Amino acid sequence: MADNKVSVVLGTQWGDEGKGKLVDILAKDVDVCVRCQGGNNAGHTIVVDGVKYAFHMLPSGLVNLKCVSVIGSGVVVHVPSFFKELEELEAQGLDCDGRLFISDRCHLVFDFHQIVDGLKEGELGRGSIGTTKKGIGPAYSSKASRSGIRVHHLYHPAEFEKRLRTIVAARYRRYGDFGYDVEEELKRYQKLAERLRPFVIDSVEFLHKELRAGKRILVEGANALMLDIDFGTYPYVTSSSTGVGGVCTGLGIPPTKVGEVIGVAKAYTTRVGGGPFPSELLDEVGQKLRDVGAEYGVTTGRPRRCGWLDLVVLRYSTMINGYTSINLTKLDVLDVFDEIKVAVSYTIDGKEVTAFPADLDDLATATVNYVTLPGWKQSISKCRSFAELPENCQKYVRFIEQDIGVPVQWIGVGAGREEMISIDLAN
């Protein structure tokens, strides 16, 4: 962990890389774990002592009982879902009392945002983005149009009521009457506000105070770089800044306080929803990746699209986020393959392209150029050091490192917390 600076864990691809597991491992050595963007459209599964914990909005550092968790200002929060997730974790025996907080600057997601999310997808028809319909995009739209409602508004009832009535009326004008009961919502949030009050803090002041005190802070990114509102496969993206820039804007900390940036990359590639996916496999190999890797969404249950590792994507992601090291996850899924392909470039209009293009029409015509590497055809789930990995498996890791110019520091070889190889980069 970087001294007196925040350490950051970010997704390098299209999400679902297994960030939560690394955060859980690192959180045992930190004082504070914090989310900086997104909402309950994220999904992490952590396995501890055979127990599966599902996280959507809450920081996965909660699994470590001495770690304080904070939902930062850049996160959009659906309060009923906040409490539902908290209750589910506590029902599994996780004691979260006094160590979970939420920024008073967070924007709120309401049920009408979720309704609008579905209506917007319906308008798009076959060109739909494939959102989780959790209301995240419409909530960020409200924020950007300066009509949103923040946590602190809950404690000024007259202002809260005025803003809620105004924003719902605006959505009615846009979509017609979609049967949203404002009166009931006002009553519900009057109760929710009091229930939420003990969790609410000024997170900017809190985090800077912790930094000055020398506390160790870990930032848990949600989604991934290729879903970033600016740098992802727009418009098939999420509605927040999922890269390292979102850490600063979502928490209110300067770039000088960002230390190590750890990129989490799956050993192959997956994505959920619509949008381009150059290395996608629509054959039995893709289905094999899905089945062996159990590639179904934590939040939605949707089957994930699967394909070979795409180093064009990983290079691009590395340029933008400046990873200091990589956590390569689910490498064990590749145990069953005789040979493994890796995308190294695209051919577009007869020209080889090694950088990820902005234009989706160009991507649609791209031919993917692969390098084929030999598989290792044996289980690596019991390996606990790099040296124990089969030779071809080691070569696969080294091939990735050499291409992107970033060392691999952690390798996931199974679902459990203990099934992670840690590599000492100092030696």
* Residues with catalytic roles: 16, 44
What residues contact residue 336 under an 8 Å CB cut-off, 6+ apart? 288, 292, 375, 377
At a CB cut-off of 8 Å and minimum separation 6, what does 373 contact?
Answer: 339, 340, 341, 342, 392, 395, 396, 399
Number of other residues whose CB lies within 10 A of the CB of residue 66: 11
Cβ(325)–Cβ(332) under 8 Å? no
216, 259 Cβ separation under 8 angstroms: no
Residue located via tokens 């950051």 = 8
Which residue, chain included where needed, has tokens 């300067």?
254
Contact in structure between 9 and 264 (CB atoms under 8 Å): yes
Closest C-alpha among 348, 368, 369, 350 to residue 359: 348
Distance CA 343, CA 281 (A): 12
Which among 355, 86, 26 is positioned nearest to 8, based on CA atoms? 26
Separation between Cα atoms, residue 176 and residue 168, nearest integer Å: 10
The Cα 139–Cα 111 span in angstroms is: 10
Q: Which residue shows structure tokens 């230390």?
A: 259
Whole-Å CA distances, 63 to 30, 263, 410: 12, 21, 20
Going by C-beta distance under 8 Å and a sequence separation of 6 or more, which residues neighbour residue 239? 136, 137, 139, 140, 141, 229
How many other C-beta atoms lie within 10 A of the C-beta of residue 191?
Answer: 9
Exposed, middle or buried, 272 (CB in 10 Å: 0-12/13-18/19+)? Answer: buried
Cross-strand partners of 346: 353, 368
Which DSSP state fits 75?
A: B
